């Protein structure tokens, strides 16, 4: 989805507070009971659904998807019904109390986010196990009716357990390659649903190879195997085998709550890959400094290396050469909100289709192309939907070859 200019630094500030366990319920955090109990007769199956969120760590994508899902459900009258009609990018960014605020604001809604219902493992596998077990215990005890899991590691944890409540996995990269999902439209696992965008990442990496025919593809990869799955290592290696090119990995810690260390490690890897790779596939991680991304990429640009970026449009606006991104930033949220609504009406998650078709655009930074000494051929120029002409999207000029839906 289009990243809408969200600054990673702001999100990491939120993440450092939100995921530390400091977000304990405040005095008076749960509104006092009134004399009249809430009426849920208008809700699906005439009951309130109590939801929790589960993820290995915090990323901008997860946040933006959550905002999109909540916005869709809000329009349906299922949650946040007494709140302003629009959610914006400051939601769950501006305050350490925001999730508990979400819980309070949904207390009388059909979909209620339970107190202490945000489980974020802060990229720690032991904590993922502990959080996941605590979450499933609450579900077995009847405290939780619905689990929203963001990312592949959280999804894999759930898939390996017996689930007694609907569990929906969102933002899982290439789930069929990682073993998170079987091929086909349905999950085949009771109470389990994985939203899939078929071949999205495979297609863009194959396109990148078809353009440049590189022999050695550089990739910055985290040291933790779970994070490697989230970055897409299984499908990257599958394509490398199919297309007969070598992978030049730089393993380092780029999923860490110490943002400065993550950025320094990323910088060191790019310097290393600039000397050994023919092209670089830039995966998503916490070492990316979105405000100064073009500076981070300088070693690759000076070495004349083409780059393809998983992060999408915002990365190309700030210096990456190529990326694909969605035409409609709300499409995934609309799809997932529909799945949630169907579950609330009684459909089994395993019987709901998992395939979400989101049209993609091709983004090209022409200044980066010139800087690396590459003159894009006509077929690439004609295929590009949006062309950027600078390294900084604050003062960016872009050419939209096809109409681009704006937020």
Q: Which of residues 10 and 88 earns the better pLDDT score?
A: 88
Residue 257 lies in a domain: yes
Q: Per residue in 200-211, pLDDT tens?
A: 788 999 999 999
Is it the case that residue 345 has pLDDT exceeding 80? yes
What Rg, from alpha-carbon coordinates, does the chain have? Answer: 21
What is the number of other CB atoms lying within 10 angstroms of the CB of residue 368? 24
Identify whether residues 220 and 159 lie together within a single domain. Answer: no
The distance from CA 91 to its chain's CA centroid, rounded to whole angstroms, is 16
Sole residue written with tokens 């400051």: 90
Identify whether residues 209 and 102 lie together within a single domain. Answer: no
| Cβ partners under 8 Å of residue 330, min gap 6 | 1, 68, 71, 72
Residue 305 lies in a domain: yes
Is it the case that residue 93 has pLDDT exceeding 70? no
Question: Cα 333–335–336 angle (5° rounding)?
Answer: 65
Identify whether residues 299 and 188 lie together within a single domain. Answer: no
Q: Per residue in 130-182, pLDDT tens?
A: 999 999 999 999 999 999 999 999 999 999 898 999 999 998 877 877 888 87
Identify whether residues 222 and 155 lie together within a single domain. Answer: no
Helix then strand then coil, in percent of the chain rounded to 5, is: 40, 15, 45
Identify whether residues 336 and 322 lie together within a single domain. Answer: no
For residues 266, 225, 156, 323, the Cα torsion angle rounded to the nearest 10 degrees is 30
Which pLDDT score, from 0 to 100, does residue 23 have? 39
Q: Greatest CA separation found in the chain?
A: 72
Distance CA 105, CA 150 (A): 22
Distance CA 37, CA 63 (A): 32
The total domain count for the chain is: 2
What is the number of other CB atoms lying within 10 angstroms of the CB of residue 197? 22
Give 96's pLDDT tier (boundaries 50, 70, 90).
very low
* Phi, psi dihedrals of residue 241, rounded to the nearest 5°: -70, -40
* Residue 108 C-beta-side C-alpha neighbours within 13 Å: 11
Give 24's pLDDT tier (boundaries 50, 70, 90).
very low
Identify whether residues 160 and 211 lie together within a single domain. Answer: no
Distance CA 66, CA 231 (A): 20
Average pLDDT, the chain: 84
Cα end-to-end span (Å), the chain: 11
Distance CA 6, CA 65 (A): 13
Identify whether residues 275 and 183 lie together within a single domain. Answer: no
Strand partners, 50: 112
Q: Per residue in 100-132, pLDDT tens?
A: 888 888 999 999 999 989 998 888 899 999 999
Q: What is the mean pLDDT of residues 297-318?
A: 94
> CATH number of the domain that 341 lies in?
3.40.50.2300
Alpha-carbon separation of residue 194 from 123, 148, 174, 184, 393 (angstroms): 21, 10, 11, 11, 33
Give 407's pLDDT tier (boundaries 50, 70, 90).
very low
Give 87's pLDDT tier (boundaries 50, 70, 90).
low
Helix (H, G, I), strand (E, B) or coil at 122: coil
What is the number of other CB atoms lying within 10 angstroms of the CB of residue 397? 11
- The two tokens of residue 349 are 């998650």
Domain that holds residue 65: 8-26+46-198+328-351
Identify whether residues 383 and 273 lie together within a single domain. Answer: yes
Which pLDDT score, from 0 to 100, does residue 182 have? 78
Is it the case that residue 20 has pLDDT exceeding 50? no
Identify whether residues 389 and 340 lie together within a single domain. Answer: no
Identify whether residues 345 and 226 lie together within a single domain. Answer: no
Identify whether residues 368 and 255 lie together within a single domain. Answer: yes
Which pLDDT score, from 0 to 100, does residue 380 have? 94
Identify whether residues 279 and 339 lie together within a single domain. Answer: no
Distance CA 297, CA 214 (A): 19
């Amino acid at each position: 989805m289009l990243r809408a200019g969200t600054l990673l630094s702001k999100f990491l500030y939120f993440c450092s507070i939100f995921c530390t366990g400091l977000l304990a319920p405040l005095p008076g955090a749960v509104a006092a009971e009134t004399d009249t109990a809430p009426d849920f007769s208008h809700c699906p199956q005439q009951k309130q659904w109590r939801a929790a969120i589960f993820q290995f760590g915090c990323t901008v994508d997860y946040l933006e998807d959550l905002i999109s899902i909540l916005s869709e459900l809000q329009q349906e009258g299922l949650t946040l019904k007494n709140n302003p009609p629009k959610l914006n990018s400051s939601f769950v960014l501006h305050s350490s109390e925001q999730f508990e605020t979400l819980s309070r604001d949904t207390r009388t809604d059909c979909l209620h986010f339970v107190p202490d219902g945000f489980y974020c493992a802060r990229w720690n596998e032991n904590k993922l196990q502990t959080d996941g077990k605590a979450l499933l215990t609450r579900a077995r005890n009847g405290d939780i009716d619905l689990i929203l899991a963001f990312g592949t590691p959280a999804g894999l944890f759930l898939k390996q357990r017996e689930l007694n409540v609907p569990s929906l996995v969102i933002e899982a990269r290439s789930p069929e390659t990682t073993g998170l999902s079987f091929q086909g439209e349905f999950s085949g696992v009771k109470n389990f649903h994985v939203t899939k965008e078929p071949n999205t990442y495979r297609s863009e990496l194959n396109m990148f190879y078809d353009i440049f025919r590189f022999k050695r593809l550089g990739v910055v990869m985290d040291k933790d195997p779970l994070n490697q799955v989230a970055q897409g290592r299984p499908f990257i290696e599958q394509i490398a085998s199919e297309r007969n090119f070598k992978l030049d990995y730089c393993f380092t810690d780029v999923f860490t709550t110490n943002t400065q260390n993550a950025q320094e490690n990323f910088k060191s890897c790019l310097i290393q890959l600039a000397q050994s790779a023919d092209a670089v596939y830039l995966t998503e991680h916490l070492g990316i400094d979105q405000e100064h991304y073009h500076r981070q990429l300088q070693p690759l640009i000076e070495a004349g290396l083409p780059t393809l970026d998983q992060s999408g449009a915002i990365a190309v606006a700030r210096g990456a050469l190529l990326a694909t991104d969605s035409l409609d930033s709300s499409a995934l949220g609309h799809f997932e909100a529909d799945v949630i609504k169907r579950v609330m009406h009684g459909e089994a998650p395993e019987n709901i289709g998992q395939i979400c078709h989101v049209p993609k655009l091709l983004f090209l930074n022409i200044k980066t192309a010139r800087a690396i000494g590459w003159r894009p051929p006509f077929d690439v120029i004609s295929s590009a939907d949006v062309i950027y002409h600078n390294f900084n999207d604050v003062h960016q000029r872009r050419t939209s070859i096809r109409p681009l839906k704006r937020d």
